[in-house]
Structure 1
Amino acid sequence: MRGIAAPGDTWGIPGPTFLIGYVVLAGVVIWMTILLRRGVARGPATENLLPQSDPFALALLAGGPQLVVQSAIAGLRSRHLVTAASGGGVKANGATAKGLHPVENAVFRTITGRKRHVYQIAADRRVKAALTDVRKGLQRDGLMLDEAQRTLYRLLGLLPVTVIALGSARWWNGVENNRPVGYLTLLLIVLVVVQIVFAVRSAPQKSGAGKLALQQEITRHDHLKPEYSPSWGAYGAGGAAMGVALFGVASLYAADPAFAAEAELRRQAAASSGGGGDSSSTSSSCSSSSSCSSSSSCGGGSSCGGGGGCGG
């Protein structure tokens, strides 16, 4: 491998030397990107986590707004404040209620005097306002990422662009100088694929600490699993809401199958949520033991050994 610049070397750096440095630089930047994004998404130290007793905060962590609404319906149902509506949906069983969690109160007010499906309740401005307060609390505790953290997470995913820009400049100058750029082309393709993966991966809603807190609460409330048929009379409204928050609407079907089926909770939530190439390359044709043909990716008529190493 040539380590001393010769006349005609792009930027005065031999192709093999540039390739080695470029691979090292790309590896460091990709590793830094992964570590920095993990740091942003980690959240507070695990030893500082406190038990999360709010079922609606846990429901927001576990499944989002619709699961929060289903948890609230479970809590209201255990208090006999909600009933299934004809043709699906739920409605309030009464006009007033006291001692409710702000989320439960918002849901109750939304269904008072009319029937509503889960997705309609989640879209109500009063419910959205209550959910915003819950989300802010989770963000304050480091269990969910706030918008600034999610923006930083996305921006960090753009770090490989700087390496791609450097490689592209070298590639372009190499082509202009009639230097072989085959290996550099392959590296750029790989980096572009990596960059696309970073770009399409959306910023997480919950932090690593939030995931751990959720798992801890699932373990701590193992007795509320639907297969154990827990008694809502024994665990109260809080237990009913917690069961749905941690184990899904199946808890509601297990505890009150007639109500859940008539209200069509599972079908309505699912209906509103919508729906939701491997390539490889080989460099054997450009190995140090063989020459590139005139039609090879390493440039017209040049060898991959002493002719710049396909690195421009």
Structure 2
Amino acid sequence: MEPWGLSGPAFLGLYWVALAVVFVAGLVLVVRARSGGASAPDRGSLDEYQLAWLSGGPLRVTQTAVAGLLARGALRVNRGGDLKPTGVSGGAADPVQAQVLRAVGQKAKVSRLDKLRLEETRIGKDLAADLVNRGYMTRPGASNGPRLVSVAFAVLLVVGVARLVNGVRLDRPVGNLIFALIVTAILWLVLRAVASSRRPKPTAKGRAELNRARAASPRGGVPHGAVAAGAGVGLAVLAPVALYGLTEYPDDEMSEIFALNAQRTTGGDGGSSGSSCSSSSCSSSSSCSSGSSCGGGGGCGGGGGCGG
């Protein structure tokens, strides 16, 4: 009598069919999880903070809020990249800016904005959840792979190993079964590798929205000095930073500060030399005279600021 009422070839045939079904189902679930799948109605275009999250994650959202606070005069930054609140009333224009302003506290560094951990706040979680629900970002669960598929693979392996032990005990040929178990383990690892992701990512819909936004606001499209010239604190300031980072802040002096701090963060020399605040960059009133640009006396190095 055959063990389990199945001959070896019959068991292997059923095993291969079950393995194929589980693997294909796993691929389908992974693709669906990574594609997002909108479960809430799309309410129109994304704002700057949502674009920032798609473009650079929670850190980019924090940078965008910092850009708005700097433009409104609620924060100032010095040549060393130190951020400090100015204490002006009504400095924050929205809840995200208010959250970042509170998190900055007395002092923070541009290069350490990631330590503010906006993604752990209620505002950050709501931003991410809205993008997921509208299909712009993959669901967080996609980072670990579909659990049901993992359970199914585990069950297949347990059943296969049990059959293997039984076959060895009955002195039956088990070479093909060993091969099937090896293939099962490999396919499980492949599926987990496909599904793995450290954090949610933009879906195809999210990438398309980013491409449209970047086409409408190309890098360098907002002239530096637009803030001082009175272009406002809306799209002219926030959109470039949301899409490309603080180095695209539309002010010569401040974008230079951000670039220097980015070099320090990535290991470049980034040193602030005497040429950093040359006459060409400090002679204009729009670069260093405003309190929001360079942080008063510390703005362009030296106790005398820009005017000597």
Same fold (TM over 0.5): yes
Partner of 1:35: 28
Contact 1:60 1:67 in 2 (8 A): yes
Q: How far did 1:214 drift?
A: 4.3
SS for the counterpart of 2:84 is strand
Q: How far did 1:156 drift?
A: 3.7
Q: How far did 1:103 drift?
A: 1.0
Match of 1:262 among 249, 257, 260: 257
Q: How far did 1:100 drift?
A: 0.8
Contact 1:81 1:93 in 2 (8 A): yes
Match of 1:103 among 96, 104, 122: 96
> Percent of aligned positions with the same letter in both sequences?
25
Partner of 1:237: 234
Tell me, in whole angstroms, the C-alpha distance in 1 between the residues paired with 2:120 and 2:165.
Answer: 55
Tell me, in whole angstroms, the C-alpha distance in 1 between the residues paired with 2:264 and 2:93.
Answer: 25
Deviations 1:192-214 (A, max 9, x none): 12223444543675477x54134
Q: How far did 1:150 drift?
A: 6.9
Partner of 1:191: 184
Match of 1:52 among 45, 50, 54: 45
Deviations 1:35-57 (A, max 9, x none): 13333444445995443332112
Q: How far did 1:147 drift?
A: 6.2
Deviations 1:41-99 (A, max 9, x none): 44445995443332112222332221111111222233344332343232234433346
SS for the counterpart of 2:31 is helix
Partner of 1:281: none
Structure 1: which amino acid aligns with 2:215?
D
Contact 1:121 1:127 in 2 (8 A): no
Partner of 1:77: 70
Query: Could you say if the C-alpha distance between residues 125 and 35 of structure 1 is closer, same or farther in structure 2, counting changes exceeding 3 Å?
Result: closer
Tell me, in whole angstroms, the C-alpha distance in 1 between the residues paired with 2:236 and 2:153.
Answer: 48
Query: Could you say if the C-alpha distance between residues 205 and 15 of structure 1 is closer, same or farther in structure 2, counting changes exceeding 3 Å?
Result: same
Q: How far did 1:168 drift?
A: 1.5
Partner of 1:251: 248
Could you say what the CA RMSD is over the residues aligned between the two structures, in angstroms?
A: 3.6
Tell me, in whole angstroms, the C-alpha distance in 1 between the residues paired with 2:112 and 2:149.
Answer: 34
Contact 2:83 2:104 in 1 (8 A): yes
Contact 1:145 1:207 in 2 (8 A): yes
Specify every segment of 5 or more residues in structure 2 that has no aligned partner in the other structure, as ranges: 268-308
Deviations 1:113-141 (A, max 9, x none): 42334535642689834323323433454
Count of residues in correspondence between the two structures: 261
Q: TM-score, normalised by structure 1?
A: 0.67
Partner of 1:274: none
Q: How far did 1:179 drift?
A: 1.5
Contact 2:150 2:188 in 1 (8 A): yes
Specify every segment of 5 or more residues in structure 1 that has no aligned partner in the other structure, as ranges: 1-6, 272-312
Partner of 2:167: 174
Structure 1: which amino acid aligns with 2:166?
N
Q: How far did 1:28 drift?
A: 0.7
SS for the counterpart of 2:107 is coil
Tell me, in whole angstroms, the C-alpha distance in 2 between the residues paired with 1:164 and 1:247.
Answer: 47
Query: Could you say if the C-alpha distance between residues 88 and 19 of structure 1 is closer, same or farther in structure 2, counting changes exceeding 3 Å?
Result: same
Tell me, in whole angstroms, the C-alpha distance in 1 between the residues paired with 2:209 and 2:238.
Answer: 17
Q: How far did 1:27 drift?
A: 0.6
Tell me, in whole angstroms, the C-alpha distance in 1 between the residues paired with 2:187 and 2:246.
Answer: 38
Deviations 1:173-232 (A, max 9, x none): 111111222222122112112223444543675477x54134224314413221435565
Matched, 1:138 2:131: yes
Tell me, in whole angstroms, the C-alpha distance in 1 between the residues paired with 2:264 and 2:59.
Answer: 10
Query: Could you say if the C-alpha distance between residues 153 and 249 of structure 1 is closer, same or farther in structure 2, counting changes exceeding 3 Å?
Result: farther
Q: How far did 1:244 drift?
A: 2.3
SS for the counterpart of 2:173 is coil
Deviations 1:226-258 (A, max 9, x none): 143556544743343222222344533xx3453
Matched, 1:224 2:217: yes
